[in-house]
Structure 1
Amino acid sequence: MKLSDYLAKELILPELESATKSDVLNELVAPLGVQYPEMDTDHAVRVLLDRERLGSTGIGDGIAIPHGKLEDLEKVIVVVGRSRKGVEFEALDHAPCTIFFLVLAPEQVAGMHLRVLAQISRLLKDEEFRKAFLSADDLEGLWALLKSV
């Protein structure tokens, strides 16, 4: 299983503009409305915010992995974002988040959802990968990096 199986170049945001958790979630979900016009992006954001109320998906080391399940989704989708300035995301280590991997999964495929989250977690534990991610010049650089894992 490769991460790029769940990711499209159009779903990589190399420079997030948002400064708050809810705005980041909206910004990460926005390109899904273009890629998947049938998706109710407002509902997707509400699902993500509901999940955040259970506990922050900011896991530390500048990483957040917001995730949720949607009934009408047919496959797991990953959206990747980067914020060079960092966003207060109520992370476990209280540090701003700079690396965002958003995962949306169909309601009925819990196993795949968990495997994708585990793969992302393993990848982001690698300090060299995090450095390469943060130092990639642009969308092309991020896409090349993400396709390689």
Structure 2
Amino acid sequence: MKLGDYLAKELVLPVLTSESKSDVLKELIAPVGIQYPEMDTDQAVRVLFEREKLGTTGIGDGIAIPHGKLEDLENVIVIVGRSETGIEFDALDHKPCTIFFVVLAPEQVAGMHLRVLAHISRLLKDESFRRAFHEAEGSEALWGLLKSV
């Protein structure tokens, strides 16, 4: 499995400007509406908010993996964002998050959704990958790193 199979270059956001959890979820979903104009991005944001109510997806080490399922979605979509300053995300370790991987999945394909989440989790456990993620300069460098893993 390659992350690049589920990720479009336009959905890699190297500089997030939001300062709150709710704003960063909206900022991460915004480009999806351009890439997939048929998608109800308001519904996608609501699904992510509902998932956050069940428990934070801020897993620690500056990482958040918001995710949810949408009825009208045909394929898994991954959105990646990076915050230089960090965003308070109610993370398990109570530290701000700087790395965001959003996973949107079709309602009917739970297995693929879980495989993508597991792949992202494995990548982010690797300290050298996290360092490369933070050090990648600009969207081209970040895209190059992500599409290859």
**TM-score of the two chains, using structure 1 as the length reference:** 0.99
Number of aligned residue pairs = 149
Aligned to 2:52: 52
1:50-90 deviation digits (Å, cap 9, x = unpaired)? 00000000000000000000000000000000001000000
Report the TM-score, using the length of structure 2 for normalisation. Answer: 0.99
Deviation at 1:147, TM superposition (A): 1.4
Structure 2 match to 1:119: 119
Q: How does 1:128-147 map to 2 (within 5 A)?
A: 128-147=128-147
Please give the alpha-carbon distance, in whole angstroms, between the structure 2 residues aligned to 1:48 and 1:12: 18
SS of residue matched to 2:94: coil
Structure 1 residue runs of 5 or longer lacking an equivalent are: none
Amino acid in the other structure paired with 2:64: A
Shift of 1:2: 0.5
2:75 alignment partner in structure 1: 75
Letter of the structure 2 residue corresponding to residue 124 of structure 1: L
What is the match of residue 40 of structure 1? Answer: 40
2:9 aligns with: 9
Specify the SS of the correspondent of 1:85.
Answer: strand
1:15 is paired with a residue of what secondary structure?
Answer: coil
d(CA) in 2 for partners of 1:52, 1:42? 15
Taking every aligned residue pair, what percent have the same amino acid on both sides? 78
Task: State the distance in 2 between where 1:124 and 1:82 align.
Answer: 13
SS state at 2:10 partner = strand
Aligned counterparts of 1:51 and 1:58: Cα–Cα separation in 2: 12
Unaligned runs of 5+ in 2: none
**CA offset at residue 22 of structure 1?**
0.6
In angstroms, what is the RMSD of aligned CA positions?
A: 0.4
Q: Runs in 1 of length 4+ with deviation above 4 angstroms?
A: none
